[in-house]
Amino acid sequence: MIEPARKPRVAGFALFTLFLTAVFVALGVWQLQRRTAKHELVAALTERLAEAPIALPPPAQWAALAPARDEFRRVSFTATYAGLPDAMVYSSGSAVRKDASGPGTWAFLPARLPGGETVVIDAGFVENTMQDRGVEDRAVKKLVTGQPVAFTGYLRFPEVSGWLTPAENRGKRLWFVRDHQAIAGALGWGAVAPFYVDLEQPAPENGIPRPGPLDVHLKDDHLQYAITWFMLAGAVLIAFAVWARGRRQN
């Protein structure tokens, strides 16, 4: 028979065990939900990337564009690179560009549409360190010819800075998150479209910066994580059962 003084201890440990089990099960279910959402995202992006490019939506429709519905849609349009300071955005690698798996920077430039509106172009990847602008500066200057260019690319929307995102280095015109609107405000590009265009083509003769087609290869480890959380929930229950059995035997 369990002594009265021990009952609260057993009950407390049981409640703690149930709490941990519920937390681990909830985390496992959450990972399964994320897996489902990831699969839906990959399917949607794969479909959009495979579609033929459409005309760039007119400025009157820009406010209605939304990332969930329009991100990664292929578009074609004509614009002229503006003779304004460019920016580079550091990246440790890309989840949608197999040819940009290592560290480097993305070259961001403003371009004027025939109607005078400004669209920001992510002109491509430059494999260099974030401390050296020499390669990018020489390459980007060759892009700004004052002549209209026929662009094909993908609609993208600004990223959000995280707690650990480093602050920009305005002296080097270096950012660590692809927030083209913040970049435009800092560098005096004026009002820009709410999206930027991830360039697919044309590519410069020397390949710097290097645009290219996007390919979805997002990591999908959610099932493994879910199994791990469920196993932890089972382990907690087993540990409590063994502990409770030992107390009864003693």
| pLDDT tens per residue across span 133-151 | 666 667 777 888 899 999 9
93 and 182, same structural domain?
Answer: yes
Q: Are residues 225 and 114 in the same domain?
A: no
Q: What is the pLDDT of residue 160?
A: 84
Same domain for 190 and 98, yes or no, is yes
Q: What is the pTM of this model?
A: 0.72
Alpha-carbon span 31 to 46, nearest angstrom: 22
- What is the structure's pLDDT at 50? 78
- Could you tell me if 82 and 197 lie in one domain? yes
Residues 12 and 106 in one domain: no
The Cα angle at residue 43 between residues 40 and 49, in degrees rounded to 5: 135
* 25, 130: one domain: no
Residue 153's pLDDT is what? 94
Segments forming the whole domain that contains residue 181: 73-201
pLDDT value at residue 129? 54
Cβ within 8 Å of residue 141, ≥6 positions away: none
158: in domain? yes
Given a cut of 50, the residues of the chain with pLDDT beneath it are 1-2
- Looking from the CA of 52 toward its CB, the CA atoms found within 13 Å total 1
Whether 76 contacts 55, CB under 8 Å: yes
So what's the pLDDT on residue 1?
Answer: 47
Q: How many domains does the chain have?
A: 2
CATH of the domain at 81: 2.40.50
Q: Domain check: are 165 and 239 in the same one?
A: no
Residues 105 and 180 in one domain: yes
Question: Does some domain include residue 61?
Answer: no
What is the pairing mode between strands 104-112 and 196-201? unpaired
Q: Is residue 212 part of a domain?
A: no
